[in-house]
Amino acid sequence: MTEVFHEDLEGSKEKAVLAGLCLPTDEDFDHSMEELEELAKACDMEVTGIAVQRMPAVNKALYVGKGKVEQIRQLAEESGAVLVIFDKTLTPMQLRNLQKELGLAVMDRTTLILEIFSKRAGTREAKLQVETASLKYMLPRLVGLHEALSRQGGASGSMSNRGAGEKKLELDRRHIEARLLSLEKELAKMEKDRESMRKRRQKSVLPLVSLVGYTNAGKSTLMNRLLERYNKGDEKNTIAKQVLEKDMLFATLETSVRRMEGEGGRQFLLSDTVGFINDLPHALIKAFRSTLEEVRYADLLLHVVDRSDPYYREHMQVTRQTIEELGAGKIPEICVFNKMDLLSESPDGEDYPKIVGNQIYMAAGCGIGLEELAALIEAALFGNRKEYALFFPYAAGGAFSKLQEETEILSTSYEEEGIRVKAALDNRMAGKYREYII
């Protein structure tokens, strides 16, 4: 990759230069830099130049060589950039030294991702999680980050209303530590509430399907298309339940859970989670752990992959590694190769949608493959159902009503002492209604 320049097409956006260091072990360096540019765009920045250096080792003081620092400074000056973003996490010393040498605001990849999360957080819990991660990252970097976080976004002020960013500047180290203690207490209370919600869902015996995958693989789009498929005839309710879908990294951060109601009383819960990315800041993973751990309670994972992305295999590896770290590696999985419509031709020349084992090739944005995916999901969730005979005394009418909500009733007979039922139950439901099975 060589240094490139971009024309100033959008003066309203904050201009930034990207800087990267390629080490001999960096096999995916070009992809990492492309991803960094997408992250900058997701943060509403205009990339005016890219500077790259190849060295055998990291410069401990400046990350890149001193001569390259001067080239980056000149590149920023010529292109009107007010910010330099480095491709890896900088040490506190590197951040301070680069800030001094460049005379410009400096960010690293971690700070940039934190900035995006800060902008996108919608719920109170997400905002508190992002603030916690940001403050923990700031503590050892207060001096170097001061100018980077307090800068005003040029003449247009596009980044001047920084919200959480400016609040950070008002806190000294002692106040930050006090704030972190307060945040952790509030998040702990929210986690208890979340755990109570999980237990209520588990008691309902409705299976949980979790969408997982690399950021911008199409998870939110797939969730919305499945909502439309499972809620036909209820357009108003379907629209109200839809989540934000946008062709952008980290368009959504919060976990959304929706009930899917199929034919024959077959119902399940579908959850959408924050997308994964390579080098996701450790502080963010830790802060969002309670949210991400929803995946651990799933009965089935839908691993959504952007098949049109040339680095889709690497994205799959990052996702599976994160799933393993969350303790969800043994949960059954359907691999959804999405965005097939964006490929010039099918990899094997065959048409899609196509199912191969537990893999499906489809295009959620075009509505192609939804019926086939629904069949795979229902087979995975309900394929082990068996027919049972049950008897509910009239005093247990509540349990019978619950059964009607949760599964397919094959026949019902009202007798003198109670209700005789034939129903299709999976193993979990059979355990729940064991006392009524005859």
In tens, the pLDDT along 49-86 reads 999 999 999 999 999 999 999 999 999 999 999 999 99
The answer on pLDDT for 11 being more than 50 is no
54's enclosing H/E stretch is strand 45-54
Tokens 């509505």: give the residue.
367
Tokens of 243: 């989540």
* Rounded-to-integer distance, Cα 151 and Cα 136, Å: 21
Contact assessment for residue 47 and residue 34, using Cβ atoms and an 8 Å cutoff: no
Task: Say what the pLDDT of residue 7 is.
Answer: 39
Task: Say what the pLDDT of residue 409 is.
Answer: 85
> How crowded is the C-beta side of 71, counted as CA atoms within 13 Å?
16
Q: Would you place residue 145 in the very low, low, confident or very high pLDDT band (cuts 50, 70, 90)?
A: low
DSSP 345: S
The answer on pLDDT for 14 being more than 80 is yes
Task: Say what the pLDDT of residue 242 is.
Answer: 65
Summarised one tens digit per residue, pLDDT across range 19-50 is 999 999 988 899 899 999 999 998 889 999 99
Closest-CA residue to 213 (of 293, 257, 275): 275
Range of weakest confidence among 13-17, 91-95, 172-176, 291-295: 291-295
Tokens 């403050």: give the residue.
135
Burial 327-351 (b: 16+ CB within 10 A, else e): ebeebebbbbbbbbeeeeeeeeeee
